[in-house]
Amino acid sequence: MRERFLDHLWTLGKTDANRVALEDETRSIDYGELMTLVESRAQQLRQLGSQRVGLALDNGVDWVLWDLAMMQEAIVSVPLPGFFAPSQLAHVVDQAGLDTLIGTPSVATASGFVAITDTSGSTNTRDATLWQRRGVSSLPDLPEGTHKITFTSGTSGTPKGVCLSSDNQLVVAESLAEIAASVEVRRHLAILPLATLLENIGGIYAPLWLGGSVTLPSLGALGWLGASGFDSALGWQVITDHAPDSLILVPQLLSALLTQQGDGPIGFGRFFAVGGATVSPALLARAEAAGWPVFEGYGLSECASVVTLNRPGEARPSEHRPGRVGRPLPHAEVSLSEDGEVLVRGNVMLGYLGDSGPAPTVWPTGDLGEWDGDDLRLKGRHRQVFITAYGRNVDPAWVEAELTAEPALAQAWVSGEAQSFNRALLVPRGDWVNDRQIEDAVARANARLPDYARVSLWQRSAPFTAQNGLATANGRLRRDALVNHYHTWLTSPVYPPADV
């Protein structure tokens, strides 16, 4: 499939030479020159004898050109998230055996690399600088066929490497391209970091497979503030300026951007995918009322991202039951174990970096589910469900999704294990949100929940981020870390008001 995809790009260079393939703030690349530029980068990597390359650039045209060059040469590509701490970056460099890095001096020198070429003489994060690491005598073993290692934050401070082949990624891209083609998607705007596997596959490979155009603003231009902050006003301005056909969103971004929209409908967009965390039906209903063509999906890195997805022309977002994430994509076979765990066959990863043994054929996701007709409906996770003092099972992600569907709340963490009431740490959308607004938001969310799932005690909190170790890059809460960090508050003998 890798050869078929690359041949297709070469063909588009002849049949659609003048169509824009990639653009950012500084340059625009059409299909006629795309693969020539990819080949020039591939030649540099061949000359260096690179085998495992870290890609540490900002979002932009160069990121994609280098990524495609590594795919062409079957070189192992390791996208490096900008939120990694120096200790995490050092771990990745050593564990993956990186011999080359494409990035800035600040990233490269801190990781033991020395400069080979500097294409611009600039330290701007969008200018590719090629670096090599001396003294790499032997490379750690990888599963056969590994062409990309995507690192996840996981539940500890040590990133976990998921090994994927090019075919793993392109099978998903082709499935997504078929869905996007059904609603004539031609222009995609990448707003997640390209080191995020979902944006890499769904926002780069899928649009290119369709012969579409991808716009790649820098993360700063999009409103990203460091590892986790997001200026929704700036992000909304970029989106409205470009009026894309497609976007890939996580729930937190969707909620933040909806707060920036005026009274009128959005007026553009054909397919906006949302996933990465539980999505509240109330948030989907808000998006639909505002004219957003939002479709919820489900996936995980171990299955090369997307596994199931709601499709255009099927149930309206507001008609979705909580957790309904659509039908499996054509490449994926989904089943349920006897205890309701979601199992995925087909297109499973080659293995984790550092693990020995054969590639898995079935992946136990750790998610609980049920079938809603042909659609998968998620019901929580094995480990995160807590049991109240009254013996009721509660999936905190469900409650958190209802809370963050409120415009005033950016993040929420709910806990109630063995407690007679549930507590929540709440991150307001901004400094403008006062306690009364938070109280009102909690009351509205509680009204949508059964009594055993409602929040009775809450406290304001600083954001949960990858940098402080309380969330992953895509916004998933690291629950064990939160429990440890807030243990005193969770166990303090404080009781909510009697009328709550």
**CATH architecture entry for 2-140:** 3-Layer(aba) Sandwich (3.40)
Residue 155: per-residue pLDDT: 41
Residue 124: per-residue pLDDT: 43
Residue 116: per-residue pLDDT: 79
Superfamily (CATH H level) for 166-381: ANL, N-terminal domain (3.40.50.12780)
Residue 317: per-residue pLDDT: 58
Q: Which residue has the higher pLDDT, 151 or 121?
A: 151
- Neighbour tally for 416: CB within 10 Å: 26
Closest CA to 410 of 482, 447, 464: 464
User: Which pLDDT band, with edges at 50, 70 and 90, does 457 fall under?
Assistant: very high
Domain ranges for the chain: 2-140, 166-381, 386-491
pTM (two decimals): 0.82
pLDDT tens, position by position, 134-177? 667 677 889 999 999 998 754 445 668 999 999 999 999 999 99
Residue 318: per-residue pLDDT: 53
Q: Is 166-381's fold the same as 386-491's?
A: no
What's the topology of domain 386-491?
Answer: GMP Synthetase; Chain A, domain 3 (3.30.300)
Q: Which of 324-333, 444-453, 468-477 has the lowest mean pLDDT?
A: 468-477
Q: Is the pLDDT of residue 414 over 50?
A: yes
Could you give the percent of the chain with pLDDT greater than 90? 62
Which residues have a Cβ under 8 Å from the Cβ of 109 and sit 6 or more positions away?
none
Q: What is the mean pLDDT of the chain?
A: 88
Residue 319: per-residue pLDDT: 60
Q: Which residue has the higher pLDDT, 228 or 132?
A: 132
Q: Give the 3-state DSSP-derived string for 258-317, with helices as H, strands as E and coil as C.
A: HCCCCCCCCCCCCEEEECCCCCCHHHHHHHHHCCCCEEEEEEEHHHCEEEEECCCCCCCH
Residue 125: per-residue pLDDT: 43
